[in-house]
C-alpha cells in the first residue's frame, strides 16, 4: 500500500481531509532515521512557510496514535520519532559519544522478552530495548561503515539471506535423506523435495542479485536481522542427524520436525513485520514450508501403513504355501 492510500485508510469515515497534515506525514515518511520534532518542523518549513510549529507537533501526536510513528528516547533529554510504515519493529544500539543510533532486530531477544512477561502473567503492550555504549567509529577513529538503518532494502536483503541459507540446508538435508532411504517411495519423495529446494534456491539467488542491483553498496550495510541458528540454515542440524544412522521412519520424522520448525519460524516473524518486501519473503517461505510439511506427514503415515501390511501379507503367503496336513 502506498503512503497516500495508507493515510486514506487511517482517516475516520466522514472526517475532513487536511492538506497540511498530509504534507507533514508525507515529508515524515520520506525520511530515514530518527527525527526530533524540531527536525521535522525545519523540513516542513522548506516546503510550506505557513505551517506552524504547533501544527507539526499535533500531527506528530496524530501519527503516533494512528501507528504511523513511534516515539523513542535516546537519553538526550528530548524525544525522537521514527516512522513505522513499512518499518519492522526493532531495537537500538546508541553511541553515547556521537549520539548516533544503530537499528537491529533479534528473534532471540523477542522470545526472551515474551518468556519474561509470560512468567509474570504480564501482558506486554510495547517493548523497548536500547544498548548504550561506544560505536566503532568513535572507539577506533576510523570512518564508520556504510549505515542504512532499517531500510526496506536492508530488511529484504537479510530476509533473503536467511531464506537462502535455509534453502541450502534443506537441499543438503533432502539429498542426504534420499541416499539413506531404503523405501523406494520414500526415496522418491526425498528426491522430489531436493529438486524443489534446488529450484527455489536458484530463484532466491536470482532475486538476491536483482535486489543488489538496486543499491550497489547494499552488501556493505550492517546486518539488521539477527536470528540465532538461521544463518546456518534451519535444516543444518537435521542434515547432521541423518549421518548418525537412521531408518526411513526416523529420516521422515527428522524432516517433519525441520519443516515444522521452519514453517513456524517464517510465519511467526513474517506476521510480526509491517508491510515490506521482507515480510513478503518470510510469508512466502512459510507457505512453501507448510506444503513440504504436509507432504512429509502424508508420506510418514503411508510408510507406517505399508510397513504394517507387509508382515500380514508375508504371513498370508506363508499360509498359502504350507502343505495341507494329513
pLDDT 10s digits, 142-195: 876 655 555 778 888 988 999 999 999 999 999 999 999 999 999 999 999 999
pLDDT score, position 145: 60
Does residue 94 belong to any structural domain of this protein?
no
My answer on whether 206 and 60 are in the same domain is: no
d(Cα 278, Cα 181) in Å, to the nearest integer?
A: 36
Which residues, including other chains, have CB under 8 Å from residue 150's CB and lie 6 or more apart? 87, 88, 90, 103, 105, 224
Q: How many domains does the chain have?
A: 2
**Cell numbers describing residue 175:** 539429498
pLDDT over 70 (residue 254): yes
Does residue 120 belong to any structural domain of this protein?
no
Using 50, 70 and 90 to split pLDDT, how confident is the model at 259?
A: very high
pLDDT over 60 (residue 325): no
Which residues, including other chains, have CB under 8 Å from residue 19's CB and lie 6 or more apart? none
**Residue 67 belongs to what domain range?**
19-85
Among the ranges 13-17, 44-48, 110-114, which has the highest mean pLDDT value?
44-48
Task: List residues bridging with 81 in a β-sheet.
Answer: 35, 71
Alpha carbon of 210 to those of 157, 215, 308: distances in Å? 10, 10, 50
Does residue 41 belong to any structural domain of this protein?
yes
Does residue 142 belong to any structural domain of this protein?
no
pLDDT over 50 (residue 251): yes
pLDDT score, position 301: 94
Mean pLDDT of 51-79: 84
Mean per-residue pLDDT of the chain: 83
Q: What is the pTM of this model?
A: 0.71
**Cβ contact 65:21 at 8 Å:** no
Mean pLDDT of 16-33: 80
My answer on whether 157 and 81 are in the same domain is: no
The better pLDDT of the pair 203, 142 is held by 203
The better pLDDT of the pair 152, 114 is held by 114
**Cβ contact 134:95 at 8 Å:** yes
d(Cα 326, Cα 275) in Å, to the nearest integer?
A: 81
**Cβ contact 23:47 at 8 Å:** yes
Mean pLDDT of 249-268: 93
Q: Closest Cα to residue 178, out of 326, 78, 299?
A: 299
d(Cα 312, Cα 318) in Å, to the nearest integer?
A: 10
Using 50, 70 and 90 to split pLDDT, how confident is the model at 75?
A: confident
pLDDT score, position 311: 62
My answer on whether 297 and 159 are in the same domain is: yes
**Cβ contact 68:84 at 8 Å:** yes
pLDDT score, position 1: 47
Q: Closest Cα to residue 194, out of 208, 181, 207?
A: 181
Mean pLDDT of 231-259: 90
Alpha carbon of 212 to those of 62, 220, 270, 276: distances in Å? 36, 11, 22, 17
Query: Over pLDDT 90: what percentage of the chain?
Result: 36
Does residue 238 belong to any structural domain of this protein?
yes
Does residue 8 belong to any structural domain of this protein?
no
The better pLDDT of the pair 187, 18 is held by 187
My answer on whether 80 and 170 are in the same domain is: no
Q: State the residue for C-alpha cell 532494502.
A: 153
Does residue 128 belong to any structural domain of this protein?
no
My answer on whether 162 and 254 are in the same domain is: yes
My answer on whether 68 and 171 are in the same domain is: no
pLDDT score, position 304: 92
> For 271-309, how does the pLDDT look when each residue is reduced to its tens digit (9 = 90+)?
877 667 888 898 999 999 999 999 999 999 999 998 888
Q: What is the CATH number of the domain that holds 177?
A: 1.20.1260.10
Distance between start and end Cα atoms, the chain:
86
Domain final residue, candidates 85, 104, 128? 85
Contacts 24+ apart (CB under 8 A), 40-45: 40/81
Among the ranges 54-58, 95-99, 123-127, which has the highest mean pLDDT value?
54-58
Amino acid at each position: 500500500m502506498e503512503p497516500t492510500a495508507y493515510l486514506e485508510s487511517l482517516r475516520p469515515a466522514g472526517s475532513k481531509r487536511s492538506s497540511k497534515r498530509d504534507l507533514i506525514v508525507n515529508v515524515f515518511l520520506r525520511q530515514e532515521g530518527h527525527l526530533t520534532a524540531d527536525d521535522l518542523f525545519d523540513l516542513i518549513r522548506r516546503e510550506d512557510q505557513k505551517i506552524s510549529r504547533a501544527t507539526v507537533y499535533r500531527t506528530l501526536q496524530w501519527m503516533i496514535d494512528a501507528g504511523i510513528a513511534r516515539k523513542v528516547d535516546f537519553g538526550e533529554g528530548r524525544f525522537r520519532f521514527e516512522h513505522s510504515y513499512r518499518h519492522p519493529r526493532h531495537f537500538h544500539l546508541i553511541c553515547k559519544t556521537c549520539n548516533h543510533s544503530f537499528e537491529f532486530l533479534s528473534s532471540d531477544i523477542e522470545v526472551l522478552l515474551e518468556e519474561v512477561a509470560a512468567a509474570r502473567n504480564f501482558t506486554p503492550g510495547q517493548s523497548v530495548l536500547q544498548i548504550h555504549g561506544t560505536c566503532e567509529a568513535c572507539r577506533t577513529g576510523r570512518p564508520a561503515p556504510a549505515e542504512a538503518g532499517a531500510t526496506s532494502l536492508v530488511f529484504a536483503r537479510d530476509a533473503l539471506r536467511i531464506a537462502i541459507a535455509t534453502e541450502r540446508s534443506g537441499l543438503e538435508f533432502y539429498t542426504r535423506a534420499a541416499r539413506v532411504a531404503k523405501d523406494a517411495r520414500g526415496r522418491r519423495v526425498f528426491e522430489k523435495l531436493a529438486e524443489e529446494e534446488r529450484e527455489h534456491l536458484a530463484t532466491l539467488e536470482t532475486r538476491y542479485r536483482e535486489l543488489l542491483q538496486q543499491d550497489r553498496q547494499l552488501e556493505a550495510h550492517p546486518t539488521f536481522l539477527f536470528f540465532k541458528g538461521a544463518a546456518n540454515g534451519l535444516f543444518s542440524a537435521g542434515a547432521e542427524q541423518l549421518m548418525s544412522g537412521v531408518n526411513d521412519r526416523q529420516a521422515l520424522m527428522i524432516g517433519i520436525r525441520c519443516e515444522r520448525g521452519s514453517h513456524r519460524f517464517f510465519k511467526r516473524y513474517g506476521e510480526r513485520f509491517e508491510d515490506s518486501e521482507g515480510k513478503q519473503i518470510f510469508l512466502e517461505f512459510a507457505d512453501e514450508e507448510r506444503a513440504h510439511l504436509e507432504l512429509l506427514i502424508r508420506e510418514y503415515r503411508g510408510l507406517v501403513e505399508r510397513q504394517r501390511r507387509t508382515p500380514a501379507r508375508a504371513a498370508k503367503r506363508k499360509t498359502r504355501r504350507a502343505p495341507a496336513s494329513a
